[in-house]
Structure 1
Amino acid sequence: MINFLNLEYFLVASEELNFTKAAKRLFISQQSLSSHISKLELDLNVTLFNRTSPLTLTPEGKSLAKNTIKILNLKKQSLKELSDIKDFKRGDLYIGISPTRGLSFLPEILPDYSEKFPNIHLHLFEGNSKELDLALLNGDVDLIVAMLPFHVENVETIPLCNEEVLMIVPDSILVKYFPNNYDKVKAQLEKDVDLALLKDCPFLMFNTRHMVRLIADEMFSKKQIKPNIILETDSIETALALSVKGMGITFYPKTLMSNKNLVFDKDSFASTNIYHMRYNKTHRTLAIGYQKNRYISQAVKEFIKLAKEKYENLIQ
């Protein structure tokens, strides 16, 4: 019978390809690690490592390393399922979400969830869309909350609400850049946003990893415009706050505009124009995603149920 501990130690050794480093990573002695590897080789009747310098995997070792990841993941999933069946009083929930979306979404969901299930230990993974997709693929999270589409195979999606990327234009920018035809330009933008009209205006943009930035870049590219970007930031809240103060034009998701945790009050928008755009990628869907081929715990099911109920109320 294969010992799971031997497999776990083998996997670390296969990653390090150095018994000294692997033993240090595992907080055991090199002699103990060698003993576990030798026992595994004996159980399987194969040689897993070429004891050369540097250490290398044999063909059998390469095959086992690939399958060990699957075996240990299946073990983890099985134990989770058994624990869930036995007792839903304790457990873990791993949620993947962007920092910006988390600021708006999580305060609406987690306080009620924690009150209802106080012994479920919550874990947050924060990242951009690519990082969230990868975390879901690798099993680092149980679910992700993000904009569709998810770029991961075998993902079940639970739509929550429609999202729209808005363009935020300070009135002071229009006054400064269109002193002779301010009223005409403002009326035109309200009817149909033409980015070419604003090409000389200053823009406040998010970093290139952010989905809103990718959408904006695509819009500029289609119009063959090189925007006058005067500032880039990792925080879309910073971009919005600076835009509201009149520094430049920015883009912002509509559902986050009602965020109770914004650091400025809604009166700040009195001198700001908020425009809808007729670009199809500015209209998207916020959803929860989880992998179909993984066990879905009761903790995940209850989170999805609560999120659907909350968002039905929030968008009415």
Structure 2
Amino acid sequence: MINFLNLQYFLVLCEEMNFRRAARKLHITQQSLSGHINKLETSFGVPLFDRKQPLTLTPAGMYLRKRAAEFLAMQDDLQKELLDIGGMIGGSLTVGSTHARSQVLLPAAFRAFQEKYPQVSVKLFEGSTDELENGIRNGTLDVSIGYLTEGSSQITTIPLYEENIIVVIPDTVIERYFPNHTVLSTRKPDLSFVMSCLESCPFLAMTQTSRTPTFTRRYLQYLNISPNIFLETKNVGTLLSFCSAGLGVSIFPETFITYSQYDFSHHCFYTIEDYDSKNIIVLNYRNTRYLSKTIQAFVNTVREVVDAQTGLGANR
């Protein structure tokens, strides 16, 4: 008899291709994980992995990887259908988002959803935009929230809001590099001044792992500017904290500033309008999977929260 847990563990090992990392991800020992895989191989009567370094899948393992994902998706859909037949909103829900977006939008959305449906267990997966898209496609995520990506007939996309991209310039940086400039009194930097800041002042950058740094790089190329990079990090929270502390100029989606835990009251802001700079934030789900009442309830809750938040739903 096929054991669902063994299949789940098998798929995690397929993803990590390393017993130690997979066991850590599953919060079990390597010995326990090896036991689950051995039981699966014994049950099917074929080896699924070639255990020579590096670990690889056998032809049987590659075939099972595809069918196991389909089988577990069918089992998950069946559970959702049975809950719906019983007229219940319950079970679990797996939501994907980037780490930064989770801090901006999800606290309010999760709070509202929890108040309405406390019986639902929510699992949050935080990853890159590519990981979120793959999660929707392969069925490991029920819903994802992030940037608008390339269209797919298998994915339903619901626009939530548009956000501006802004250049953030600390007052302390202006005082240091442009001590006599009138912008300190007007608080309204123009493009010419912003370009001077981007050319002359320390720049805080994100590594090329997401949409924002890709936009930043292209925008700077468009302006023909090579910034003086003081700090480069993949963590948006770190970048926000350094910019808040006045260490340099940076570029962020506006909502990251609006809902930041850091103080940006002593900063000047320039909304980028001379370049294609609107981010469309969307909610995605796979339309080839069963859309349960629980998923529908979450989608509706997120849309209600977005509409209620000033600066989000108002820009839709």
TM-score bucket of the superposed structures, by smaller chain: 0.7 to 0.9
Q: Which residue of 2 aligns with 1:36?
A: 43
The equivalences for 1:90-101 within 5 A come to 90-101=90-101
Over 3 Å counting, the alpha-carbon distance change for 1:57 and 1:117 in structure 2 is closer
Over 3 Å counting, the alpha-carbon distance change for 1:6 and 1:58 in structure 2 is farther
**Conserved 8 A contact 1:7-1:68:** no
- The one-letter code sitting in structure 1 at the alignment partner of 2:301 is L
**Conserved 8 A contact 2:189-2:270:** yes
Over 3 Å counting, the alpha-carbon distance change for 1:143 and 1:183 in structure 2 is same
Over 3 Å counting, the alpha-carbon distance change for 1:278 and 1:186 in structure 2 is farther
> Does 227-236 or 75-84 show the bigger shift?
75-84
Over 3 Å counting, the alpha-carbon distance change for 1:130 and 1:112 in structure 2 is same
Q: Which residue of 2 aligns with 1:25?
A: 33
Q: Which residue of 1 aligns with 2:70?
A: 70
Unaligned runs of 5+ in 2: 18-29
> Does 56-65 or 96-105 show the bigger shift?
56-65
Over 3 Å counting, the alpha-carbon distance change for 1:209 and 1:64 in structure 2 is closer
Over 3 Å counting, the alpha-carbon distance change for 1:303 and 1:12 in structure 2 is closer
User: Does 1:309 find its partner at 2:308?
Assistant: no
TM-score in terms of structure 1 length: 0.77
SS at match of 2:281: strand
The equivalences for 1:48-67 within 5 A come to 63=63, 66-67=66-67
Over 3 Å counting, the alpha-carbon distance change for 1:263 and 1:171 in structure 2 is closer
1:61 deviates by 7.4
- The one-letter code sitting in structure 2 at the alignment partner of 1:246 is G
User: Does 1:294 find its partner at 2:301?
Assistant: no
The equivalences for 1:227-242 within 5 A come to 227-242=227-242
Name which one, 1 or 2, has greater alpha-carbon Rg: 1
> Does 106-115 or 187-196 show the bigger shift?
187-196
Alignment root-mean-square deviation, CA: 3.9
**Conserved 8 A contact 1:233-1:239:** yes
- The one-letter code sitting in structure 2 at the alignment partner of 1:262 is Q
Over 3 Å counting, the alpha-carbon distance change for 1:85 and 1:170 in structure 2 is same
SS at match of 1:162: strand
Identity %: 24
- The one-letter code sitting in structure 2 at the alignment partner of 1:298 is K
Q: Which residue of 2 aligns with 1:190?
A: 189
Distance 1:85 1:236 in 2: 43
1:24 deviates by 5.2
